Amino acid sequence: MCGIMGYVGKEEAWPIVVGGLRRLEYRGYDSAGVVTVSRKRLRLARSVGHLRALEDSHPEGLPGTVGIGHTRWATHGGVTQANCHPHLDSAQRIAIVHNGIIDNVEALRKELVAQGVEFRSETDTEVLAELIGREVAAGRGLRDAVLRALRRIEGTAGIVAVDRNDPERLVAARIGSPVVIGLGDGACWVASDALALRPYTDRMVVLEDSEIAEISPDGVRTVDLDERDRDKRVEKILHRPEEAEKGDYEHFMLKEIWEQPLALDRSMRGRLDAGMGSSRLGGLETHEQRLFDIRRVVFCACGTSLYSAQVGAYLMNRYARMPATAEDAAELAVQNPIVDRHTLYVAISQSGETADTLGALREIRLRGGLVAGITNVVGSSLARETDFGTYVHAGPEISVCSTKAFTAQVLATELLSLRFARMRDLGANEGRAWVAALEKLPAQTQGMLEQWQLCKQMAERFQAAPYTMFIGRGINVPVASEGALKLKEIAYVSAEGLSGGGMKHGPLALIEPGLPVWALVPPDETRERMLGNLRELEARGAYIIAVAAADDTEVAELVDTVVPLPPHHPTVSPMLTVVPLQLYAYYVALAKGYDIDKPRNLAKSVTVM
Ligand code: M6R
C-alpha cells in the first residue's frame, strides 16, 4: 500500500526520492511527502493527491543530499496535508516515514499529551516520531532512539528516520513491514520495495523482522532489537529496470497480459522433467522425504491468488488424488485452524506481502505446520517466512489488477500437483502427456492473445451492461470467478463467477434477454453439462460468449460468439480460458475511460488486515 523511498549520498536527494516514489505509485496512495536535510534544517514538502501535485508545489525541489519520502494510503486519519508523511517530532529535529499500523497508539498518544505534546496530525506515525524525538533529545543517537521507541509500540512498522543534527545517516527498521536497502558506491537507497531501487543498483540487503539498520553513504550496519550485530547477505535484484516500465503499451495491465507467454516460459524453464513425466521444483526437493508423508494439501491466498489456489486444489484432488482445499487466507488466519503434521500448507501471493496471507501462514507455522510458498517477489516476507517455496518468475507486476501472476501461479500449482501426482497415482505416460501440454502452453497462450480484437469488440458492445455473468465447471469455476473479479476491479461492473452446476439453484433468475454471459466450455469432462447450461441461457435470451474448442460446432450453434481454444490437455485449460476474460475486462475499462492500472479504492499490495 504505502511506499517508502530514502537516499543518502553525494547527489541531490529530491529527484531520487521522488523518482523512487513514482516507481512505487502502483501500490496505490492518496498523498505524498518528502523531507530533506540542508544546513542542519529539515526541509519538508507534503501534498494531498498525486506526486505531480507535490512536484508542482515545489518546482525547484528541496535542497540536500539526504532525504526520505512517502506515498501514503490513509489509515489513521483522513486524507489531509497534516496527515501526510514525513512526520516530525515536536522539536522539529527528527523526521520519519512509516508503513504499518501502531495498535497501541491511543495509549501512547494520551501519555504524550499528558506531558504537554500538541499533535498536529491524527496519525499514529506522528506519535512514533515524538517517541523517537524524545529519546534523541535525551542525548541518544538516532539508532538507539529508534530502537527504544520501537520497543514501546505494538503493531507493524517499516520506518526510515533522519536526524537534522546527523544528516549523513538514515536509520531504517522493519517490524513486520518490508524494508530493503540498495548498496552503491558512496550512496545508499532505502525503500519498501526493490522496484524503487533497481534503477540505481542491483545489490540489496533485505531487513528481516525486528532488525534496525544504520545507513550511510559508505554502507549499512544492521542490529536486532537486542542490539546484537546481524550479518547480512547481499542479494541480487533480479529484474531489469525496463521490466518495470510501460514501454509502448498504454497500460501496465495490457503489457502484463501480453507478457504471459514469456512469463509462463520463464516460469517453467528447467522445471519440467520430460523423461520422467514429472516436475522439479528446487525448494520442494529439499523436503522431499517429508512430502511422502503428506496426506492433505491446504492452499491459502487472497483475491486472484485464491483463484489460482482453487485451480491448484482441483488439480491435487483430480490428478494427484490428494485431498486438497483452497482457503481464503483472511478467514483461515482467524479460524483457529486445525494444523496437523501430514498436511502441506501452500501460501500463494504475488507480492508476498499480503497481510492476511502472512497472518495465515504465521498461525500455521506457530502450530508446527509445514508451509510452502508460491510468490513472484524475490525476498518478500512470504519467501522468507515459509519452510520452502518456489518463485513464479513472472517479472514485476505493476498493474493493481493481477494478470500474469495468476497464470504463473496456476502454473506453479500445476508443477506441484504433477509432482505429487507422480509420487502417487499418475503413470509415467500420463505424466509425460501433462509435461508435453505444459511445454505447448506459451505458444498456445500467445494464440489466445491474438484474439484480442474479438474481445475488444465484445467489450465495446457490452461496456454499458450493468451486470455480467461468468460461468464454468470443474477446473474452470475459479477462472469464471477470476473473470468476474477483473471486470469488477477495473471496469466497476457488477459481475459474478459461478459454477454452471449452481445456475438452476438461483442465479438463473438473473438471466434476461441480452445479458452478457461468458461461458467456459473447454472440451473436457464438463462439456456435456455445460451444454445444458448453454441451452438454459439460450432459451432465456442471454448473449452468450463461449470460450470453447474451435471445432465445437454444437457449442457454436448454441451461443452468439465463440472465442476459440486450441486443442489442449484438460489440466492446462485455466491458463488459456482466462486470457480472453482479462482482455475483455481491460477493453471494457478502456472504453469507459477508467484509470486501469490504479482502480479506485484498491492498492496493489494489501499490507493491512
Ligand atoms: O499479492 P497477493 O497475490 O497476495 O494479492 C492478493 C490480492 O490482493 C490480489 O490478487 C487482488 O485480488 C488483485 N488486485 C486482483 O487483481
* pLDDT tens profile 257-291: 999 999 999 999 999 999 999 999 877 777 777 88
pLDDT at 283: 76
Mean pLDDT of 317-337: 94
CATH topology of domain 246-445: Rossmann fold (3.40.50)
pLDDT band at 128 (very low <50, low <70, confident <90, very high): very high
Cell of 172: 531504517
Q: Whose CA is nearest to atom 8 of ligand 1?
A: 303
Per residue in 86-109, pLDDT tens? 999 999 999 999 998 899 999 999
Give the strand order in the sheet containing 203-206: 41-48, 31-38, 66-72, 3-8, 188-191, 180-183, 203-206, 235-236
Q: Which amino acid is at 473?
A: R
CA of 582 from ligand 1 middle (Å) equals 14
Block residue for cell numbers 480472453 = 580
Q: What is the mean pLDDT of the chain?
A: 94
Cell of 66: 539526504
Q: Give residue 5 CA to ligand 1 midpoint distance, Å.
A: 23
Q: Is the CB of 303 under 6 A from ligand 1?
A: yes
CA distances from 429 to 277, 317, 525, 606 (A): 7, 19, 20, 42
Q: What is the pLDDT of residue 1?
A: 64
Nearest atom of ligand 1 to the alpha carbon of 401: 16
582 lines ligand 1 (CB under 6 A): no
CATH class of the domain whose range is 451-596: alpha beta
- Ligand 1 binding pocket includes 3 (Cβ within 6 Å): no
Q: How confident is the model at residue 410 (pLDDT cuts 50, 70, 90)?
A: very high
At 28-77, the pLDDT tens digits run 788 999 999 999 999 999 999 989 999 999 999 999 999 999 999 887 77
Report yes or no: 497 and 483 within 8 Å, Cβ to Cβ: yes
Question: Averaged over 409-422, what is the pLDDT?
Answer: 97
Cα dist from 496 to 166, 419, 466, whole Å:
56, 33, 12
Output the furthest CA–CA distance in the chain (Å, rounded). Answer: 81
Within a 13 Å sphere around the CA of 447, how many CA atoms are in the beta-carbon half?
16
Confidence of residue 516 (pLDDT cuts 50, 70, 90): very high
Atom 9 in ligand 1: residue holding the nearest Cα:
303
Q: Is 300 close to ligand 1, i.e. is its CB under 6 Å away?
A: no
**Three-class secondary structure of residue 205 per DSSP:** strand
Inter-CA distances, 192 with 199, 219, 240, 325, 329, Å: 15, 18, 18, 33, 23
DSSP, residue by residue, 401-453:
S-SHHHHHHHHHHHHHHHHHHHHTT--HHHHHHHHHHHHHHHHHHHHHHTTHH
**Helical spans, DSSP H, in 424-526:** 428-449, 452-462, 477-491
Q: In this structure, are strands 370-375 and 343-349 parallel, antiparallel, or unpaired?
A: parallel
Q: Is 401 in the pocket of ligand 1 (CB under 6 A)?
A: yes
Domain ranges across the chain:
3-242, 246-445, 451-596
β partners of residue 33 = 46, 70
Q: Can you tell me the mean pLDDT for 196-224?
A: 94
Other C-beta atoms closer than 10 Å to the C-beta of 270 total: 8
**Which residue's alpha carbon is nearest to atom 14 within ligand 1?**
401
pLDDT at 239 over 90: no
Integer Cα distance of 358 and 32 in angstroms: 27
More confident residue, 176 or 452: 452
State the distance from the centre of ligand 1 to the C-alpha of 256, rounded, in angstroms: 15
Question: Would you place residue 395 in the very low, low, confident or very high pLDDT band (cuts 50, 70, 90)?
Answer: very high
Same fold, 246-445 and 451-596: yes
Per-residue pLDDT at 198: 87
Q: Is 489 in the pocket of ligand 1 (CB under 6 A)?
A: yes
What type of residue is 581? L
Pocket test for ligand 1, best of 27, 299, 304 (most atoms within 8 A of CB): 304
Q: Which residues are catalytic?
A: 2, 604
Q: What is the pLDDT of residues 540-561, one digit of tens each?
A: 999 999 999 999 999 999 999 9
Q: Look at 238 and 181; give whichever has higher pLDDT.
A: 181
Give, in words, the CATH class of 3-242: alpha beta
